[in-house]
Structure 1
């Protein structure tokens, strides 16, 4: 049947309905409405009031039939056969009255006409609706949905859904561009009606895109991210692969790309939308302070692991900044920077940054004199284990001021020995030239070559002194000890007229008698 033929047929049915209504003095009842009035059937039997009913035929014979969902038998009043449709299932419009037959209610049919099926009626009503009237589509959907639910008609239910969706689409077309709240209301209609999730998500997405355009210049982005997480599944799930083509398309035309996307691609676009907002928030912090590159990179690793390359760039940016400003860094900051290089398996950079910092500190500490040099020496030893440089600075400090606190102690700890106004290494100290006079003095034994002062330091003051003159020298004898004990005589020789040049020429030990 063509659309034109179907339309003409429906017009004929409308005329029949009007005719029936005029003759029966009541509007046609659907089977559902007729069954709902079952409590009134006894009164109708008594009054034999004419009633018009419309419904689907479920069982049909020559002069009787039953309507779907209704156990009441419909029988021809005159006994004449009914006109039968060529279809297996068809709808009829019947007028008649109720009467008792063998103790059971029975509907006596006075007139019966074939009418369009529910689907044909649906199409006819649909064709008469003005495209810009959403309420008409909702009314058609409601009528079809009720019929479909009553008869369990899946095809009609499907058409009812289409009509309802079409009504919502028309409502959307009437919204002004940028009306986020209007789109949210439409999306909620789908949710409440448990209808097409695809369009619900499309309207919701478009609404949030509009809302983002309004809010992007404000500072409540975290609240907006929370809304996205609540409304768009998958937005916090990292992408397993780059999705470059889809990402480029979505960035250029997000609303259009989402409208044409599949459920799977939309999940990816949820993530792209969320990432579009989150990433600039994190990057903005680094722009203001490059020293927090590692901190922001960690957040990116946790929240947007797809951006590994960017996270690495932020780490490098912080390292470069800290390297550039290492001269003014604290010791703690230096050690943190060194550790970062070691974690990146860059030991040479780690050593370089320490050396650069120590050199800068040395320049600064030199201004403090010997105490500053001592502090600089300790830093070289503690941070770089550079004992050679440390000793060099300690010796320099000692040279400036021998009494500088801690310098001598530090040198001693490092294995140095102070000997004859000179600091010697342990090895140098072991192989130093030994002075026999010094050894003799340490053992308390006077020997030739000693001066008067050295003898006094060795044995103390003499018991007695004697002096004699010779042709070219003065002989001086010092006696140590009393007559009743072992005595030592020390003989000095002093060239004539050479004051304080006397030296020991011999030592004699005298035993008591």
Structure 2
């Protein structure tokens, strides 16, 4: 016997194959696995079991084994129906051909019967024993092409994973990833993998309510669901509230019983629930960060339009309570948000309330403050009626303040008995208006130099005269009143009339 043959024999002896004597039967697949060494094993004794495909008077053929099995003269053949046989004998060689000389033969339980017997001995809490039996069943299923046995092996692996899952002290992402890796290695049916993941993720989700680092855990879960549940990242056209209520009432049972296309919807509903909980956990109870919350919901849970609108409304309400402390820019931003929110009437009301909150401050700044305040009513609300009231109030404080007089005059008002009135409601003639203006100390267009002096009560601080294109013009300035009056008349005339009145005071700003 050469060195290589000795090595082979020694290795096989360590595996349980002996030159003489008997041992536990080895499967036919393990026998065929050393086919290349059969020549070196001539004379060795084997105890083999497996499925047979043909049995004659003197020969036997095992399924998927090329070596012929020949009965010795004293072999007793078993009676009855059976699928599996166990033989003891030696590998022999005659005329250059190998064969197996069968010295004893007996029937043994079928693979199904062996599986059931082995399964009965496996503890229901022993995942390791389940995996070992699954490996035995899978090896034989692969060798014989036995689909039923393969399914039993897969079921055992699935059961083993569930045992491991139940025995976890903490169901965190690391533990789930470990079990998921095993499920992939086992090549379990994808539906089963999804059920397993879905169950584990719900277990994690329920645990987050009791954890201090809830937001962090929800964030990790959010990422895992998006990565591993097929329908999680596919938005729905609308949020199916009735389906969601039914699912959240019994998520595990409903998921396990659903078809693949329905599961994708449930994946998304679960993802949305985790997203919403994760985002709302960071919402300020006052509504102060409502728009930030709504923005995140639009990204991760766009189907939840109800929540998006609810949290935008919360911040709008929060901000509206603080209108009186807002700058003009902040108020305009809030008003624009109401427009975007689809509530233009509230956008207008926001401007109106902000203006109302500044009225007292405007009055405290005198005629100048009221004029600026009146301009705000025009710019923000185009409310000229309200603006006119504040221009009139500014004039009452300072009848010589030209900005108030100019605006009222340009916008169709005139003084009548000391009250600014729409001009169309005043019946008096032009002459009576000038006389009234003189009594009230006002300057009106069309007044002569004499009438202006009478109205102002004093001579101007400065007079500048110049001529152009056959006309003479004079500019009278009253520094204390902050007004400059322009007279104009043709050369040759003895007197001029007021052509324009302008202010020498620059408008203030808010």
Is TM > 0.5 for Structure 1 vs Structure 2?
yes
Select the residue among 115, 136, 139 that pairs with 2:129: 136
Partner secondary structure for residue 279 of structure 1: helix
**2:193 is the alignment partner of 1:197:** yes
Q: Give, in angstroms, the shift of residue 398 of structure 1.
A: 3.1
Q: Which residue of 2 aligns with 1:58?
A: 53
Contact 2:195/2:255 (<8 A) preserved: no
Q: Secondary structure at the match of 1:305?
A: coil
Q: 1:414 offset after TM fit, Å?
A: 4.1
1:398 matched to 2:391? The reply is no
The 3-state SS of whatever aligns with 1:433 is helix
Contact kept, 8 Å, 1:183 with 1:203, in 2: the verdict is: no
Are the equivalent residues in 2 in contact too, given 1:188–1:200 (CA < 8 A)?
no
Following superposition, the deviation at residue 53 of structure 1 comes to 2.3
SS in structure 2 at match of 1:108:
strand
Q: Looking at CA atoms only, which structure, 1 or 2, has the larger radius of gyration?
A: 1
Aligned to 1:72: 67
Q: Which residue of 2 aligns with 1:279?
A: 276
Residue 164 (1) aligns with residue 162 (2): no
Match of 1:125 among 110, 118, 125: 118
Shift of 1:199: 5.0
SS class of match (2:88): strand
Distance 1:307 1:24, change over 3 A: same
* Matched residue, 1:148: 141
Once the two structures are TM-superposed, the CA of residue 68 in structure 1 deviates from its matched residue by 1.7
Instruction: Report what 1:379 is aligned to.
Output: 376
Aligned-pair CA distance for 1:120: 1.8
Range that drifts further, 420-429 or 94-103: 420-429
Which residue is 1:234 aligned to? 231
Aligned to 1:212: 208
Uncovered stretches (5+) of structure 1, i.e. residues with no partner: 1-19, 444-513
1:95 match: secondary structure: strand
1:432 is aligned, of 430, 434, 438, to 430
**Greater shift in the superposed pair: 134-143 or 343-352:** 343-352
Alpha carbons of structure 1 residues 277 and 142: separation in structure 2 relative to 1, 3 Å:
closer
**For residues 257 and 377 of structure 1, do their structure 2 counterparts lie closer, same or farther at Cα, with a shift above 3 Å needed?**
same
Aligned to 2:86: 93
Question: d(CA) in 1 for partners of 2:35 and 2:73?
Answer: 25
**Contact 2:23/2:47, CA 8 A, preserved across alignment:** yes
User: Cα 1:404–1:85, aligned 2, differ >3 Å: closer, same or farther?
Assistant: farther
Change (3 A) 1:281 1:141: closer
Does the residue aligned with 1:92 lie in a helix, a strand or coil?
strand
- Most deviating of 276-285 and 161-170: 276-285
Moved more, 302-311 or 254-263: 254-263
Q: Is the 8 A contact 1:30 1:54 kept in 2?
A: yes
Aligned residues: 420
Contact 1:76 1:110 in 2 (8 A): yes
What residue number does 2:359 align with? 362
Shift of 1:366: 0.8
CA contact (8 A) 1:416 1:426 kept: yes
Distance apart, 1:213 and its partner CA: 4.0
Task: Give me the whole-angstrom Cα distance separating, in 2, the residues matched to 1:157 and 1:224.
Answer: 33
8 Å CA contact retained: 1:21, 1:52: no
Q: Is the 8 A contact 2:85 2:106 kept in 1?
A: yes
Q: Per the alignment, in what secondary structure is the counterpart of residue 143 of structure 1?
A: helix
CA deviation after TM superposition for structure 1 residue 378, in Å: 0.8
- Deviation of the 1:117 alpha carbon: 2.0
Deviation for aligned residue 1:179 = 7.5
Shift of 1:239: 4.5
CA distance 1:430–1:211, change in 2 (3 Å): same
Q: Label 1:75 to 1:441 Cα distance change in 2 as closer, same or farther (>3 A).
A: closer
How far does residue 320 in structure 1 lie from its aligned partner after superposition?
3.8
1:234 alignment partner, SS class: coil
Shift of 1:159: 1.8
- Unmatched 5+ stretches in structure 2: 1-16, 436-443, 450-510
CA RMSD of aligned residues (A): 4.4
| Cα distance in structure 2, aligned partners of 1:230 and 1:22 | 56
Alignment of 1:440-479 (within 5 A): none
Spell out, residue by residue over 1:178-203, the C-alpha distance to the aligned partner (whole angstroms, 9 max, x if none).
67765554343223322241453255
Distance in structure 1 (CA, Å) of the matches to 2:219 and 2:125: 40
Task: Indicate the residue corresponding to 2:501 in structure 1.
Answer: none
